[in-house]
Structure 1
Amino acid sequence: DESTASLSIVIAEMTDFSGFEIDLNKYQKVAINPFTTEALSADQIAAVKNNIEVCRDAIVFFTACGSASGYGGHTGGAFDTVPEVVLLDAFFRACPDKFVPILFDEAGHRVATQYLFSVLDGKLPAKELKRYRVGHANLPGHPELHCTPGVKFSSGRLGHMWPFVNGVAMANPTKISICLGSDGSQQEGDDYEAAILAVAQDLPVKLIIDDNDVTIAGHPSKYLKGYDVAKKLEGQGMKVTVVAGEGLEALYPAMRNCMVHSGPYAVVIRRKMCPGIEGVEGQCGGHDAIAVAKAVTYLTNKGHTAAVQWLEGDAKKAEKDPQAGDYLGTKGSKVGANRALFGECVVKILESMSLEERKSKVMVIDSDLEGSTGLKVIHQKCPDVFVQSGIMERGNFSAAAGFGMEKGKVGVFSTFAAFLEMCVSEITMARLNYANVLCHFSHSGVDDMADNTCHFGINNFFCRQWSR
């Protein structure tokens, strides 16, 4: 009848991958039951490898569209996790009654994964991926529920998803809940507490962690000596399997054992960032949207001529945000960014002091955002007072406050304004101890295209009452 015909048309439209220069029709709907399949067959291996290639090529292409248009984004994290995500998709398809079929991810910048699978699930037209991170295109830099069709959760800030997934597991005790993690997200204090609860309650939570030794500002193995994701989790009572590389011969058995195990379990996958991408593999730059030139080389080698032509042509025609305006006082002027000026001002003060004086009186601590919040210039010009720390805002702020407890000493701390709320209790502790802390909370305001509401920097408007 008429209603049935209308429904068929809608479904056909939503599963049409036309208008996207990577052929997503090549993605095979593989079903693998990890509870009964001890080893993958040759056909299953071929299908999984095919799907990995399709997804990785697609992610490189549409995240590079973000580079071409100027809207930016992130390639590496999503690119890295494709093998495990493809396997999880096959598990969900074979055993829908065994899983909460959501790819919860506590690294929201890996949102390209969520958008790609929204397309593969028929919830989003493939051509929309080419508008990745464009303002008001509903494809922001972090996934948000009820914003993008097909997205099933809001990731929030880095390292905040696992405790939430613990609750999902409590609400679904007969099903397995998945949480994709990273060596960066595991630095956050929330994950320490989440591990304790998961083990204590024997929750059916499975962590699949990308341990690529890359964060925004460096390599954890260099700036966080002694930090080891697997050892940390084992010390908290988690069952852990470490996989060297991402070959299916090791990855599938590890993930199968993880699913078969009755309680909490983590698979830690150690590999380089952006494996196989020439000029990007293993580098911190892989965290951001891949440069067009690098994407062109990668896609050319894969024979994706149409994708290359788009990146070198139409993709560079940046779509202006129709709701965007000019910032008052900056158009046609040479006004510097507040975050940059903050760092330069601190350097000017430090350089007026002797080396011994500033080392004894000042400590500047970073939370893996030195290039984003203005601390990089301090690191470069006054490394003697700079502490390169991890993604641990609460602990880092308190360390700065503790340094500044003594009269004549001051700790300097900086992070995004959106992250200020994570430090509220620590700010109170600093106030109660009359600690001298100079804080810079950058990126105030709102920004639809970059990271969405989880990164809206409006908390600083309430800072005054906490610091008085």
Structure 2
Amino acid sequence: MNMRLTQAPIDTLCANALRFLAIDAVEAAKSGHPGMPMGMAEIAVALWTRHLKHDPADPAWADRDRFVLSNGHGSMLLYALLHLSGYELPVDELKRFRQLDSRTPGHPEVGHTPGVETTTGPLGQGLTNAVGMALAEKLLAAEFNRPGHAIVDHRTWVFLGDGCLMEGISHEAASFAGVQRLSKLICFWDDNRISIDGEVEGWFADDTPARFRAYGWNVIEAVDGHDVEAVDRAIREALANTENDIGPTLICCRTTIGHGSPGRAGTADVHGAPLGAEEIAATRAALGWTHGPFDVPDEVRHAFDARARGASRHADWQARFDAYAAAFPDEAEAFTRRMAGRLPVGFDILSNAILRGVAREAATLATRKASQQAIGRLARALPELLGGSADLTHSNLTDWPGCGVVRADQPGRHINWGVREFGMAAALNGIALHGGFLPFGATFLVFSDYARNAIRMSALMRQRVVYVMTHDSIGLGEDGPTHQPVEHIPSLRLIPGLDVWRPCDAVETQAAWNAAVLRHDGPTLLALSRQNLPHQPREADQVQAIVRGGYVLAETPSATPAPALVIIATGSEVQLAMAVREVLAAEGVGVRVVSMPCTAVFDRQSAAYRNGVMPAGVPRLVVEAAHGAGWWRTVAEGGAGGDVIALERFGESAPAARLMARFGFTADAVLERARALLAGSAGHG
């Protein structure tokens, strides 16, 4: 198989260098996906050597282009590009592809490899991350750019494959990107018509160009993906379109998976397995590649080396930014702060003052309403706060006075995502990764199932994203079991790095929001009630203790030196624990009520603090209107037995009060279980 003679020799060399770095790394690892890197090599050469704006010396440069490898299984293509472009990724790391502690894991991981913008692998999510990045760029440009001072002006480029387009999230993302006219989003479709199971015509026969045109995209069809000049022309056309604000661009590149392999090109066999020594030798012969494994000619390294170009473009931008800072010092300072992810000076003091004010108000209201009020308070201090809802704004209560709505032709701070829970969550990750905003998104808690994998990716990437999930239990009432979450809270708590807060009143809700904003190493999910919840009185030290995830809310005076029973509750069930404590206190029984709005944060506290809140040797009764499997460890750790009042079946359609009574979430029902526990006749602990 011979490369086209019309292609410049250096382009041929560059494309083949990418192919063989991927081939050799996959062979060394005896694991990986060589087919996509071999098929998209010329597309990568056209973009990375001629158009991509980046600086290998500073992968975090604010105005760099963002490059997203949505078909992340082809990670060796990206690693080869980063290595050759001059990033801190030496060839030894390519040789250690997919090995323990290497900087070249099986799929790209942000924060792990310099130059990687997002963690990709779950197909379709990279594309959706890119939509979030492009939206962030557009909104930041509208907010900070001034006539003659374009400090935000970059593009988001995406490589994607058939698998990304088959995933339903691609519909959500592409539809949203089209209606928002994200013209600086440019995607390359690797149209090789092969997936793991073989030729896709039996299960993927969409008219993809027509589909994207229907979304409002500019579509460039029939580009020969193995012709660098043809790809270059398509890129130039796409760049011209970005200036006309006519929407994002999809460049349809016809390619052959595993291009260059005599025995496997165009087949599923080359998708996800090493070629093997015999086929590698045949491919070297077919492409005229005489270099050994991981050996790259100097002229190829020179062609890819982006260090001088990147430094020059970065310096030009810095000069323009300095002029901007001289003319608009406040805006420049705010932009720098926000892109660095720093909060305003004194925000921790302000947030504490806000929390104390909410405690003084002592309001009784639904925690979803308390969340809306918290958003409004924080938004006044945090211009970077950007959020919205998946078509449930007036149920999730995510708007606030003066927020302004985001539209294609107008900036704002509130996003109507439409009924796109998964797309919303993955785009929020992209917004967070881009920088400059603190994003949040909302839906009903039960629909976290739709968004779950993107929520997991937030945690995996340690991104500061806030998920506002309302209607948190059977307490939502008449909508019935399809909308009443049961297993959702405990299952979300199992995601490593995700802080799940279920506040019991407005004070805990504000504290949860404060904690979410102050957190810099991962996402936060707020599970909020539809129904009103009573204010719980607290002393000043108790208000401050909320941010520790669990604390002593109330204790019978006679409970010292140790209570007879510790009742642990969250959310709407805290009021039941408080009512039971009052009854038992009147009978001379010492009871401690522990409010546990966030188990993950509580678990991160010192052992001394945790033991002080829940002393060993005292029976524990847990009350939560959700599946109780996760609570039995808490009961067992007490060493004195206990019980869990939970919900381990689907709900019913009825008014909330009737449902709570039916399923045992009343003060009388909890009191009965508490008495049984105290008498030593109950429990599974």
Q: Calculate the TM-score normalised by the size of structure 2.
A: 0.38
Q: Which residue is equivalent to 2:20?
A: 57
1:297 aligns to 2:282 (yes or no): yes
Amino acid at match of 1:164: N
Distance 1:129 1:421, change over 3 A: closer
1:81 aligns to 2:81 (yes or no): no
> Distance between the aligned counterparts of 1:153 and 1:281, measured in 2?
29
Distance 1:88 1:420, change over 3 A: closer
Equivalent residue runs for 1:21-420 within 5 Å: 45-67=8-30, 72-92=31-51, 100-120=64-84, 121-173=86-138, 174-203=153-182, 204-224=184-204, 226-246=205-225, 247-262=227-242, 263-292=247-276, 293-301=278-286, 302-304=288-290, 306-307=292-293
Q: Tell me whether 244-253 or 112-121 shows the greater mean CA deviation.
A: 244-253
> Distance between the aligned counterparts of 2:208 and 2:163, measured in 1?
9
> Displacement, 1:240?
0.6
Q: Determine if contact 2:178/2:215 at 8 Å carries over to the other structure.
A: yes
Q: Determine if contact 1:98/1:175 at 8 Å carries over to the other structure.
A: no
> Distance between the aligned counterparts of 1:213 and 1:91, measured in 2?
27
> Displacement, 1:255?
1.9
Q: Provide, for residues 409-436 of structure 1, a one-character-per-residue CA deviation record: whole Å limited to 9, x for no partner.
A: xxxxxxxx979989xx9xx99x749xxx
Q: Calculate the TM-score normalised by the size of structure 1.
A: 0.54
Q: Determine if contact 1:63/1:73 at 8 Å carries over to the other structure.
A: yes
CA RMSD of aligned residues (A): 4.2
Which protein shows a greater Rg? 2
> Displacement, 1:305?
6.1
Distance 1:45 1:260, change over 3 A: farther
> Displacement, 1:244?
4.6
> Distance between the aligned counterparts of 1:103 and 1:466, measured in 2?
45
Q: Tell me whether 145-154 or 73-82 shows the greater mean CA deviation.
A: 145-154
Q: Determine if contact 1:240/1:265 at 8 Å carries over to the other structure.
A: yes
Amino acid at match of 1:78: P
Amino acid at match of 1:235: A
SS at match of 2:206: coil
> Displacement, 1:106?
1.0
Q: Determine if contact 1:59/1:112 at 8 Å carries over to the other structure.
A: yes
Q: Determine if contact 1:206/1:258 at 8 Å carries over to the other structure.
A: yes
The percent identity for this pair of structures is: 23
Distance 1:236 1:149, change over 3 A: closer
Q: Determine if contact 2:54/2:64 at 8 Å carries over to the other structure.
A: no
Q: Determine if contact 1:100/1:177 at 8 Å carries over to the other structure.
A: no
Distance 1:155 1:420, change over 3 A: closer
> Distance between the aligned counterparts of 1:220 and 1:467, measured in 2?
41
> Displacement, 1:466?
9.4
Q: Which residue is equivalent to 1:368?
A: none
Q: Provide, for residues 201-258 of structure 1, a one-character-per-residue CA deviation record: whole Å limited to 9, x for no partner.
A: 111211111011111112221223x423222212222111112532234322222111
> Distance between the aligned counterparts of 1:104 and 1:156, measured in 2?
11
Q: Can you give the 5+ residue segments of structure 1 that lack an aligned partner in the other structure?
A: 1-41, 310-393, 395-416, 434-444, 447-460
> Displacement, 1:82?
1.5
> Distance between the aligned counterparts of 2:126 and 2:170, measured in 1?
8
Amino acid at match of 2:83: V
SS at match of 2:111: coil
Distance 1:304 1:62, change over 3 A: farther
> Distance between the aligned counterparts of 1:87 and 1:167, measured in 2?
25
> Displacement, 1:307?
2.7
Q: Determine if contact 2:26/2:32 at 8 Å carries over to the other structure.
A: yes
> Displacement, 1:195?
1.4
Amino acid at match of 1:91: R
SS at match of 2:159: strand
Q: Determine if contact 2:53/2:65 at 8 Å carries over to the other structure.
A: no
> Distance between the aligned counterparts of 2:649 and 2:70, measured in 1?
30
Q: Higher relative contact order at CA 8 Å, sep ≥6: structure 1 or structure 2?
A: 1
Q: Which residue is equivalent to 2:680?
A: none
Q: Provide, for residues 157-198 of structure 1, a one-character-per-residue CA deviation record: whole Å limited to 9, x for no partner.
A: 111122221221122233221111112101112211111221
Amino acid at match of 1:307: P
> Distance between the aligned counterparts of 1:66 and 1:181, measured in 2?
24
Distance 1:99 1:110, change over 3 A: farther
> Displacement, 1:94?
6.9
> Displacement, 1:303?
4.5
SS at match of 2:219: strand
> Displacement, 1:117?
2.1
Distance 1:294 1:145, change over 3 A: same
Q: Determine if contact 1:299/1:307 at 8 Å carries over to the other structure.
A: no
SS at match of 1:306: coil
Distance 1:272 1:199, change over 3 A: same
> Distance between the aligned counterparts of 1:240 and 1:286, measured in 2?
28
Q: Determine if contact 2:87/2:114 at 8 Å carries over to the other structure.
A: no
Q: Determine if contact 1:241/1:254 at 8 Å carries over to the other structure.
A: yes
> Distance between the aligned counterparts of 2:54 and 2:294, measured in 1?
38
SS at match of 2:107: coil
Amino acid at match of 2:284: L
